[in-house]
Structures are given as structure tokens and as C-alpha cells.
Homo-oligomer: A and B are copies of this chain.
């Protein structure tokens, strides 16, 4: 009596999200999922030592108020402008759950963070995917395409992934005023922007349709902890905070450690400065190897392998992988001649460059064009 077909149609048709490769079996240089090359603040280690099992017996504070209060203080907004989430991913889901009807449209660029279309499909909403220009800028008619499809919500990752390109506040203001729905600006990589004056928070909280996404996974070395947060006007934050969020979305330990990590801004800023310096060094070195590298304000670089190279991007990816160096390769049409490389420590970057040099000189890779 096997009654199959319990799955909703949109779920049955869905191919799930495939996270970047994680390997724990061998020592790898992991430059494929944009984690921080440096651990989080040492104060977090001190905080771990204070966690007692008695404190885990009870339910955690439901809305992570202490962490939200620290986030509010860091960004000089009110605690009501902040929602704490299980990584940025939970915020993306909550935005769709709360603001997008099944059957409605969700706008995004092509390429973009590959989770957006998956979460949109889970909500049984339609993806409106608008190709970026050759230089990864938004096309002139982006807003009009969004509005023509009545997108209830639009995702922009800024700095952009996988290119690293940054859209400035002036252009975003035009965009936000033009589109009729909610604009989600996914700032997962914003900590690595060179211009320290780039700060959208005051604008966002005063807006009627902007939500910013932040995460501790990249800039705070805490991808394993799963903590992110959203910043926006109260009328957009409150329904997610008090209605659609799982009642206790953040466990007690994550709340405590995330609070300590976010609170140590001096340490975090020192890490960001090191990553920026390494990014600029790595970019020059990749260019010296003959690769074309997009301008990046993020902690990764998108490198194009020219057609005259001895090896294709895919062959380089495979060759690096054989040498236990992971970078990200996307098979998509516009990306198949490129590699996305997370900025590592100076030592990791040097090992990457040495291996790339060897591969490009030929003979050390089994894969060839």
C-alpha cells in the first residue's frame, strides 16, 4: 500500500541546493566557499570556556536580544531594526515566507548566489532572472523588468557574487525608488569593501522597502556557528521577528558566541584589512600569470582563464583539486571559463599561485584542454 506522491509538486520538481565542496578527509587548502582565512576573535574562545551544561537545560532567549542589542550598537540603529537569524540563509527564507506569495515573482540577477532560485522554488514562487552586463553591472532596464513582472521581492548580492563587484549607494537608491517591491541587499561580503564609508544601514532603516543581510560566516570567521542578521525598517523586520521565525531559531551558545564576536570590532577590522591586502596581492599575481581578474570588493576573486591558456578553467580546477587545493568552478555558460578563488592567508595564496604556475606551464595536470 505504497502511497507515493506526498510531495508538493514544486518540491518534487526541485533539485536541492548543492553547497560548496567540504572535505574533511585530507588536509586541503580550502579556497572554494569564501570562509575567512583567519579564526574569529580569541575572546570567543574565552567565551566557550564559560558555557555550562546547566545553562543549556532551559530554552534560549527567543529573540536573541543581547546579540541584537550589540548589533544595534555596532550599526547605530535600534534593536527593533535587527533580526538575528540562523545564518543569512534563514533570513532569505523568512523574507520569502513573509513577503512573497506562491505564484508571485522574485527578481534576481544572473549570475547570483545560487541559493536564491532554490529558496524561491521552495516558496513556489517564480524566478525572474535578469542577465548582468558583460562587466557584471545591472542592465539599464533592470527596474522596469522587475516591475513588469510585479516582483514582490528582489535579491541583490552586493558586493556581487561571484564577481566581487560593488554597487554604490547612489545607484541602489535609484533602484530602490524605482522598484515596487522589497529590495533585499545581501551584504554577506560587505566587510571586505575597501571604502569604509560604504554603509547602507541608516538609509535602509529609514526606507520603506530595503532589508540588508549580514552574516558572521565570512567577516567574523564563524561559518560553523550559523549566525546572521537582517537590518531594516521596523515594519519589515517585525513580522519576521514575531510571526514567521521559528520560535527559538538561535541556540543559547550561538547567541553568546556571536555576541562576543560581533562585539570585538577591533579584531574583526584587523582581519578585514589583512584580507583586503591579500586580495590585492593575489589579484596582481593572478594577472601576472595571464589571468583576467574582475575588480573585487569581496574576499574572493573571479579569474578568467583566457582561451590562449594551455589549460581550461575546468582543467585548472581539477588540477588544483588533485593537489588538494579547492577553488570554485561553475559550469554555467558565462562562468565556465572562470574560477572563483577565495582569498586565503598569504601562505595559502602562495601555494595556490605555485600550483597554478606549475599547471599553466604544463605537464603537472592529467586534465588538458
Residues of A at the B interface (CB closer than 8 Å) are: 1-4, 6-8, 11-12, 14-17, 19-20, 22, 24, 30, 33, 35-36, 38-42, 44-45, 48-49, 51-62, 86-87, 89-90, 93, 97-102, 115, 122, 124, 152, 177, 180-182, 208-209, 217, 221-227, 235-236, 239, 242-244, 246-254, 257
Please give the distance in Å from A231's CB to the nearest CB on chain B: 16
Q: How far is the CB of A256 from chain B (nearest CB, A)?
A: 10
- The distance in angstroms between the C-alpha atoms of A99 and B122, with both chains bound, is 11
In this complex, what residue of B is CB-closest to A244? B122
22 of the cross-chain contacts (CB-CB < 8 Å) are A3-B180, A3-B208, A6-B181, A6-B209, A7-B99, A11-B244, A19-B247, A22-B62, A30-B58, A39-B53, A45-B53, A49-B49, A56-B223, A56-B224, A59-B217, A86-B86, A86-B246, A89-B247, A89-B248, A226-B250, A227-B251, A251-B251
A18, B244: Cα distance in complex, Å: 12
- A102 to B10: give the CA distance in the assembly, Å: 12
Q: Which of chain B's residues have a CB closer than 8 A to the CB of A102?
A: 102, 124
Q: Which residue of B lies closest to A45 (CB)?
A: B53
Q: Copies of this chain, how many? A: 2
**Contact B16–A246 (Cβ < 8 Å):** no
Given the interface pairs A86-B246, A115-B247, A208-B2, the reply to whether A7 lies near B98 with Cβ below 8 Å is: yes
Contact B56–A222 (Cβ < 8 Å): yes
Asked, given contacts A36-B57, A44-B53, whether A62 binds B19 with beta carbons under 8 Å apart, the answer is yes
Complex Cα distance, B59 from A20, in Å, reads 9
Instruction: Give A22 to B99 CA distance when docked, in angstroms.
Output: 30
- Please tell me if the beta carbons of A53 and B226 are within 8 angstroms of each other in the complex: no
Closest-by-CB residue of B relative to A104 is B8
